[in-house]
Amino acid sequence: MSRGPAPPSGWPAPTTATLAGRQIALEPLAEVVADRYFDEFPEDRSRYGEAARAWEVHDTLHCLQWAVLDVAGFVSLEREIAWLANVLGSRGFPLGHLARNLELAAGVVDEQLAEPGAAVAARLRAAAAGVEPLPPAA
């Protein structure tokens, strides 16, 4: 395994969000998404080293919170994902993996949050569909 990037530091990722008046624990959702993500993209463990899972969970926590906040009308998930795609793309991260991560997150939300999560899952799927792949390097 390569050394890869350092683990997330600085401002911690959110661990809870309020959805339809109910406190939602985001960490268990992000952990399931991470399991599924690495089942599909095991090469990312080698590419990003020991911090791969920490970054996967960290970014997924933010995406989940943004989706919940989008449903509540406080942020634009589309705008936040565009920002994240720009950051990740500038680091050479394959944006198709980001789109798939959002789809996986939508599936987990559907499974684990049922009715209150339907709108969140729909927002995540729409955001996934809007992720633009980077043009090939010249």
pLDDT per residue, tens digit, the chain (138 aa), is 445 677 777 778 999 999 999 999 999 999 999 999 999 999 999 988 889 999 999 999 999 999 999 999 999 999 999 999 999 999 889 999 999 999 999 999 999 998 889 999 999 999 999 998 755 554
At 2 the pLDDT is 46
pTM: 0.91
At 136 the pLDDT is 53
Contacts by 28-35 with C-beta closer than 8 Å and gap 24+? 28/112, 29/60, 29/64, 29/105, 29/108, 29/109, 29/112, 29/113, 30/56, 30/57, 30/60, 30/61, 30/64, 30/105, 31/57, 32/108, 32/112, 33/60, 33/101, 33/104, 33/105, 33/108, 34/60
Q: How far apart are CA 43 and CA 67, in angstroms?
A: 27
